[in-house]
Amino acid sequence: TVRKASVGLNTQRTLGEISPLLFGGFAEHMGRCIYEGIYDPASPLADSRGFRPDVMAALKETNYRIMRYPGGNFVSGYRWTDGIGPREKRPRRRALAWRSIESNQFGPHEFMEFAQELGTEPMWAVNLGTGSIQDAADLVEYMNLPTGTLYSDLRAANGHPDPYNVKYWCLGNEMDGPWQIGQMGALEYAEKAVQAAKLMRWMDPSIKTIACGSSATSMPGYPDWDRVVLDHSYAQIDYFSMHHYAANPYPTISNTERLPVDTDSYLASSVHFEEHADTLAAAIRLAKAKNRSKHDVHLCWDEWNVWYRAKGGDGGWSEAPHILEEEYNLEDALVVATWLNTFLRKADVVKIACIAQIVNVIAPIMTRSDGMFKQTIFYPLTLFSNHASGHSLDLLVKSPSYHSARYGEVPQLDVSSSFDPESGKGAHFLVNRSQTESLSVTLNWEDVAPDGLTQAWQMSGADPMAGNSFDHPDAVTAHEIPLPRLDGRSMTLTVPPLSFTTLISHHM
C-alpha cells in the first residue's frame, strides 16, 4: 500500500517574503576553488581573462544572487593589498589556514570582474584575525569611495576609476574557532567587530554589515557566543551569520570517533536546521529588546552544505592543492533540498544564504583542466534558485512519519512552496525522506486553484550513495517528469522513495 500525505496551500497565508539572496554562493581561496576552479588560465578551455566558459555557464545556471569572498578561514590571515596592482609584482605567501601557497594572481579586481560577469552581488569578508579595524576601513575606501583619496585613487590607478560599491560586508569569519587565525572570546570579538563596523560605515554609510555567529552548533560556546555578540553589536549590524555542515554519520563533538552511517537520521537533518534558525531568531529578538532597537537584524546562513568525507585541510604548502574535494551522492542532494525547504520555511528571518562553496571544494561542480561535471547537489540548488520567488506559503502538511534514531518521529514528506503574486508562478518542493516507501501526495489549493502545472522535475534512485563522476556525469540528475493533472483545486502525484520533486504551477 502507498502511504498518503496532503498539503494545504493558500496563496494569502504566507510566512514571509523570499529574499533572492537566499540563493548565494561562497568562493574562498581554499584548495582548488579559485585557482583551477573559477580562475584557470592554464586550461585549454580558459578565455583571455583565465575564466572558464564551461564553469561560468554552470555557475550562471545556478543563478547565484550573492557571492561571499575571499574566505572563510583564509580571510583571517589575508592582506588585501597583496592582491592588487600588476600581477608580476604581487607577493607569494604562505596561506596559513589551509597550509597552501597563495600566489595572489586572483585578487579584489579579478573577483569583481568575476562577480560582474556572473551577475551576482559581492559579499566581502574583512580580516578581523590578523587584520586591524583600519585595514577593514581602508578596504571599504578602496572598493567603494569615489576617487580623491589615497585608496580610491589607488583603485583608479589599478584600472578601475569607478567605485565598486560593495554593499555586504562580513566582519571576520568564525572568530570563535580554535582553528581560526586570531581566535577571540565573544566579548573581545564583539568589541572589535563594533569598532570595525563603525569605521567602515563612516567610510561608506550605505554598507550592510554581518557579524559572526558561532561557527557550529557543536561549539561548546553555542549559543552563548551568539547571545553575547548580538547584545553588544546589535546597533552596528544588519545580519548575523550562521554556519553548519551536515554529515552522515553525524560527527561526535570530538569529531574523531565515527558513528555508524544512519541515512534515516541524516535525511531528517532539517529538524536540526530549523531548530538552529529558531534559536538564533530568538537571540536576535532578545538583543533587539535589550538594545531598545527599532532596526531589524536578519540571519545570514553564509556557510551551509554537506561536508564530512573530504576532511583535512593540509595543502602541504603547495598552490591549488587537491584538498577537501567532496563527492556528493543522492542522499546529500536530498539533504540539500530539505535545507532549501528550511530556508523557505524560515523566510521571515533568514535573508541571505551561501552554499559553501561553488567549485571543486565541497561544491556543486567539479573541474579538471579539460572539463567539469555537475555534482548531485547542483540540481536542488539550481531548481530552488531559479523557481522559488515571491512569498513563502504557510502550508498545512499532513504526512505519515518514521522513526529516526537522532530526531525521533519525523514526517516522511518535507515540503515548501512559494507563490509570486506578480507573475502568478507557484513552486512546490517535495522531498520523500523514506528509503523504502512511495508517498501519494495531494496538494489542495484552498483559495484559488492554479490554471495548471507548467513544469515538473524529479531526482530519485534506489541507492542513496549513488553519485556523479567524470566517467558518469549524469548518473544522478533531476529529469523532467510528466505533468500531474489538476482536478479542480487538487492534484495528486505519487513520489518514489528517496526523491526530490519540483512542481511549477501557474495562476493567471
Give whichever of 60 and 311 is closer to ligand AHR, judged by the CB atom.
311
| Smallest separation (angstroms) from ligand AHR to the CB of 364 | 13
Question: How many C-alpha atoms does 364 have within 13 Å on its Cβ side?
Answer: 30
Give the CB-nearest residue to ligand AHR.
72
Any idea what DSSP says for residue 91?
A: P
Residue (145 or 365) nearer to ligand AHR, CB: 365
Give the three-state DSSP class for 82.
helix
Strand order of the sheet with strand 499-506? 14-17, 391-393, 413-420, 425-432, 499-506, 452-460, 479-480
Whose Cβ is closer to ligand AHR: residue 141's or residue 174's?
174
Cβ contacts of 239 within 8 Å, gap of 6 or more: 168, 208, 209, 210, 211, 297, 298, 299, 300, 351, 352
- Minimum Å gap between C-beta 92 and ligand AHR is 21
- Does residue 174 carry a catalytic annotation? yes
* 3-9 vs 396-398, strand pairing mode: antiparallel
Our measurement of the distance from residue 221's CA atom to the centroid of its chain's CA atoms, rounded to an integer in Å, reads 23
Q: Which three cell numbers stand for residue 396?
A: 498545512
DSSP letter for each residue of 226-259: HHHHHHHHGGG-SEEEEEEEE-SSPPPTTS-SPP
Helix (H) or strand (E) holding 41: none
C-alpha cell at 461: 534512485
Residue of 28, 102, 303, 326 with catalytic role: 303
- Closest CB to ligand AHR among residues 11, 173: 173
> In whole angstroms, what is the distance from residue 500 CA to residue 426 CA?
17
- Give the nearest distance from C-beta 480 to ligand AHR in angstroms: 33
The string of DSSP codes covering 267-322 is TTTHHHHHHHHHHHHHHHHHHHHHTT--S--EEEEEEEEE--SS-----TTBSS--
Orientation angle between helical segments 133-144 and 150-157, nearest 10 degrees = 50
Q: Which residues bind ligand AHR (CB under 6 A)?
A: 28, 30, 71-73, 173-174, 215, 303, 356-357
Q: Of the two residues 28 and 135, which places its CB atom closer to ligand AHR in the complex?
A: 28
CB of 360 to ligand AHR, least distance (A): 12
Smallest distance from ligand AHR to CB 64, Å? 15
Q: In this complex, which beta carbon is closest to ligand AHR, that of residue 93 or of residue 198?
A: 93
Q: Which is nearer to ligand AHR, 100 or 416 (CB)?
A: 100
Residue 366, H or E segment: strand 365-368
User: Does 257 qualify as catalytic in the annotation?
Assistant: no
DSSP state of 7: E
Sequence letter at residue 233? S
The set of catalytic residues is 174, 303
